[in-house]
Homo-oligomer: A and B are copies of this chain.
Amino acid sequence: MELRDLRALVAVARSGSFTAAAAELGYTQSAVSQQIAALEQAVGQQLLERRPVRPTPAGRRLVEHASRILLRVDVARSELARAGGVEGVLRVDACPLAVPAALAGSLRQLRQAQPALRVVVHTTDAATALAELAAGTVDVALVDGIGAPGNPLAMAEAGLFSSTALAEERLVLVLPADHPLAGRKGLDLSALVDAPWVVAPRLAGGPALPTPHGAVTYEGTDVVTLLNLVASGHGTALLPESVPVTAAGVATVPLRHPDLVHRTEVLVLREPGVAAQALVDALRERARLG
């Protein structure tokens, strides 16, 4: 069981194809097939079903571990690689709902202090942001998710990154305007336990709950599209209260649930570069003020 085999397993499980995984890793299909075979022999059980290619329960388990292992390997490499590197560009990944107005101001403040610094911002989902931060592709990740107040997001391993909380805000339920509960002043989740949901994993950040049954999944990152799905009756959605919800056909009701908030954090590698640290400091400063 070596890292190379785990990489192959994860790639195959993600892509659902030996061929695609091989292309991604720079091997031939044959090599990947042999790596998987070796891994299955090493652990003494089948990890993938073929045709269609899909992980077995044991395979899922190992994929879960392997993903975290490989993430940490990337982090280790990035930390060692960036030692002594000079930085003329600051790359930032931000989740769509993790871009508070503070970001713009903090960036302006940062560029005034360091005019020569180039800044590149991308929006992605949290998983991608973590992977890119670990790989060293970006220097700062702004991620969000739903969790308990005061507790860090259970993103990846504790201690992999240095994380700073920027904001915690209440959640609102987004309902079709003609929904019977649309007029309420507040709702508990239990009132909607059997209702259909519109799940937007790339918008919601951390998956707070396992996907409810009968859910519509929206893979995009556009809030308006999500609202349209809600308005047309596909289900209800959950958003932080600061998102301006002004689409026709939807209503919002504050979520009454003491243990669930929307939380935004900024993540950097431990011992980040000076520019990355400066941005974190600026963001933290603004978070304290606002």
Contact surface of A with B, Cβ cutoff 8 Å: 1-4, 43-45, 58, 61-62, 65-66, 68-69, 72-73, 75-77, 79-81, 83, 154, 157-159
Alpha-carbon gap, A273 to B76, bound state (A): 34
Contacts of A72 in B (CB 8 A): 65, 68-69, 72
Contacts of A154 in B (CB 8 A): 158-159
Residue of B nearest to A59 (CB): B80
Alpha-carbon gap, A86 to B46, bound state (A): 20
Report which of B4, B62, B80, B157 forms a contact with A157, defined as CB distance below 8 A. Answer: B157
With A43-B80, A44-B80 given, name 10 new contacts (CB 8 A).
Answer: A2-B2, A2-B3, A44-B81, A45-B83, A61-B76, A65-B72, A68-B157, A69-B69, A69-B73, A158-B158
Given A2-B4, A154-B158, A158-B154, decide whether A58 and B76 contact each other with a Cβ distance below 8 A.
Answer: no
A interface secondary structure, majority? helix
Residue of B nearest to A68 (CB): B72
Alpha-carbon gap, A80 to B2, bound state (A): 16
Contacts of A4 in B (CB 8 A): 2
Contacts of A68 in B (CB 8 A): 72, 157
Alpha-carbon gap, A158 to B161, bound state (A): 13
Least CB distance, A268 to chain B, in whole angstroms: 15
Given A69-B69, A154-B158, A157-B158, decide whether A58 and B80 contact each other with a Cβ distance below 8 A.
Answer: yes
Least CB distance, A40 to chain B, in whole angstroms: 10
Contact B80 A45 (CB under 8 A): yes
